[in-house]
Chains A and B, each alone.
Chain A
Amino acid sequence: MRNMWLVARREFLEQIRGKAFRITTLGLPVLFAVIVAIGYGSSVGVGGTNRSMVIASSNPALANAVRAQMEQGAAGVHSIIVVAPATPEQRAALVGQVRSKAIDGLLVLAAPVDGPPIASYFSGASGDFITITRLKDAVDKGMLDEHLLGAGMSDTAATAVLNGIPISTYQVKQNGPPVASNAEASFWKGYVMAFLLSLTTMLYGLNVARSIIQEKTSRIFEVMLATVKPTDMLAGKLIGVGAVGLVQIAIWLLAGVAILATPFAAIMMTGQFAIHFTWVEGVLFPVYFLLGYLLYSSLFAGLAATCETEQELQMYMPLAAVPTWLSFALIIVIINNSNSAWAVAGSLFPPTAPIVMFLRMASEIPPAWEFGVSIGLLIISIWATLWFASRLYRVGILMYGKRATIPELLRWLRYS
């Protein structure tokens, strides 16, 4: 027991003092913020649209209505010129301007008397789908606006019809009053937590594996095994590296709390884009991190003991990542119905449980018994994985020279 804690302490201190810890502690949140910022920026229309555009139509009212819609929604378009009514010669000349890159895009709206309007778009590029989607939205709304106004509806009423009616959402909790919520914000909160969970679990699981391979390569096991039991060594390593992960998560949480105390957080915590963190999430995040980490790291530890180099270990990585991919593949199912059979099964199946449970919690906290079963199954599977891993570890760390074959691995299990 004494030696297990000494091994854990050494692992903890060496990793905490390491450059990699500092880089990931600071770098991951920054990287994540950059990814979110890029995603947010692209969703509000930075890029993807032309800088100058001409709308040519035989119907000036329709052309102006479409321009109004485009100016409302399409950021990035510097100028929109309307040529209406436009003759065929003018249209041909404008196509020539597109060709000579004098303008970036030309939207032609033909309005035949005996049929619906026909829209055509000319540009130097084949057109990205974001631009086309926005154009279609503007044309549809513009046409509807023109018809409503033509039918005698007031401008305010027509705008209300076009914009639709916003729905305020409230989540009704078991105790206390309903809380204003936002499905999109909740989803992103759950997604971010699940992503962090999968990232840290894999990251620290891999750290354990890498540490084992380095000790195997440097032959330090020979010295260690003359003092420490293999099971104590493995347990010490898992505890030490896991503690590093918990410290890192604690730093992120503290930084998060510090950010929440700033005016910026007020935007996140109030209004329509409200994100609410509950104590259940606060408690379960470290619990699922620890369980997920122990499951993956014990699996990685067993695999690492059979490898000679980190390159060999890389070959197993796609297999180990399958549960993570599977978890995120269930996102659509979970968004549609967080209590569907697939969602419940995913949150109980140990390899996918940590991530899927957090994705489910984003929309609704599952019943307590599901948490109980999920955590119970995780503990049982950790025990089983550790049983196999410690046997592979005991024999594998003293085997040098070549990669073990499957029959050899089976023999190792029998030896110990």
Chain B
Amino acid sequence: MPVVELAGVSKTYENKVAVDNLSLSIEAGQMFGLLGPNGAGKTSSIRMMMGITIPDSGCVRLFDRPFERESLDRVGYLPEERGLYRKMNVLDQLMFFGRLHGVAAEDARKRGTDWAKRLEIADALDKKTEELSKGMQQKIQLIATLLHNPGLIVMDEPFSGLDPVNAALVERILLELKDGGKAILFSTHRMDQVEKLCDSICLINDGKAVLSGRVREVKERYKRDHVIMEFEGDPAFLESNEVAEAKNFSGHAEIHLKPRGNAQKLLHEAATMATIYRFEMVEPSLEEIFIRTVRGSNHA
């Protein structure tokens, strides 16, 4: 049963088509990456999912029912632009957001305190939001998103503003939530995180879905035309006729073969010029797939 489903959803602002016939669905216990360049339509899609804006056509379903505002009590939303009351006490603020989602006041206080301890910001609870650093505000926003124990968690750029230590902490929490059966959707530009965390992705460009599916399946669609080499000697073989593009980092090279490039020929040429320590054919990274797909769709 999909927790959230968009079916042929479109949205146009003035003369700009923000989302064009987009369809996707996310199951419980699934982490879903919504990807795309700036202005592709990610935030517009999320806003329709959250009922902030209404689609011009198509339909949004939450928890296997047509969209209704009552369902939003079971959704946690972390927007791209963080929004907290600056002058408000942090715990009061968390309780306020919890109560908006139907959590009783005392329960909201307890959950807010527990989450703050978990995220190592318990000291911030009795402060005003404006007194906190950007990273701490980010964590407060995350607690406000999760406080009411939502079945669907929607996050627009959840890692922006977090240092690597805190980003790792949030990653761990998201994986735990996923294991606990929550459906999680997030948009990001960080492809390494998508590869690490997501089960499925949807890449949108100019409002259209240009690539979607399970991460493994998506990657398997691309043939192994990448070579990682470690060598010592003359790097002239990197200009071989078999090579489309190569990056050399002092003996460590990342090579993209031409469409009909022959890896065996390249290895033979390299062996005549340098000592080869590693020659490995790898699948393209999600980042490369992203760039190639977006470029391809722009040229189409």
Contacts and interface: CB of A to CB of B under 8 A. Distances in A.
Interface of A: 2-3, 6, 10, 14, 18, 214-215, 218-229, 398
B86 A218 contact: yes
Contacts of B102: 2
Interface of B: 47, 50-53, 69, 72-73, 75, 77, 79-88, 96-97, 99-102, 141, 144
B142 to A, nearest CB: 12
B117 to A, nearest CB: 23
A3 B103 CA distance: 12
Given A14-B85, A226-B52, A227-B72, A219 B79 contact: yes
A229 B82 CA distance: 19
Contacts of B80: 222
A296 B80 CA distance: 33
Contacts of B72: 226-227
Contact of B83 (A2, A18, A219, A229): A219
A226 B43 CA distance: 13
Nearest to A229: B69
B53 to A, nearest CB: 7
B84 A218 contact: yes
A234 B224 CA distance: 56
B83 A220 contact: yes
A227 B87 CA distance: 21
A219 B83 CA distance: 5
A78 B243 CA distance: 107
Contacts of A215: 83
A214 B53 CA distance: 21
Contacts, number: 60
A377 B43 CA distance: 43
9 contacts: A2-B102, A218-B86, A222-B52, A222-B81, A223-B79, A225-B50, A226-B52, A226-B79, A227-B97
A226 B99 contact: no
Choose among A225, A227, A228 the residue with the greatest number of B CB atoms under 10 Å from its CB.
A227
A224 B83 contact: yes
A228 B96 CA distance: 12
A2 B72 CA distance: 14
B53 A398 contact: yes
B52 A220 contact: no
Given A214-B86, A226-B72, 17 more contacts: A6-B96, A6-B100, A10-B96, A218-B84, A218-B86, A219-B83, A222-B80, A222-B81, A223-B83, A223-B141, A225-B51, A226-B51, A226-B75, A226-B77, A227-B73, A228-B100, A398-B53
Contact of A219 (B81, B99, B144): B81
Contacts of B73: 227
Given A226-B50, A226-B77, A229-B69, A220 B101 contact: no
B153 to A, nearest CB: 12
Contacts of B50: 225-226
Nearest to B148: A227
A320 B82 CA distance: 33
Contact of A14 (B87, B100, B101): B87
A221 B83 contact: yes
Contact of B100 (A18, A219, A227): A227
Given A227-B72, A229-B69, A398-B53, A222 B83 contact: yes
Given A223-B144, A226-B77, A218 B100 contact: no
B88 to A, nearest CB: 6
Contacts of B88: 10, 14
B157 to A, nearest CB: 12
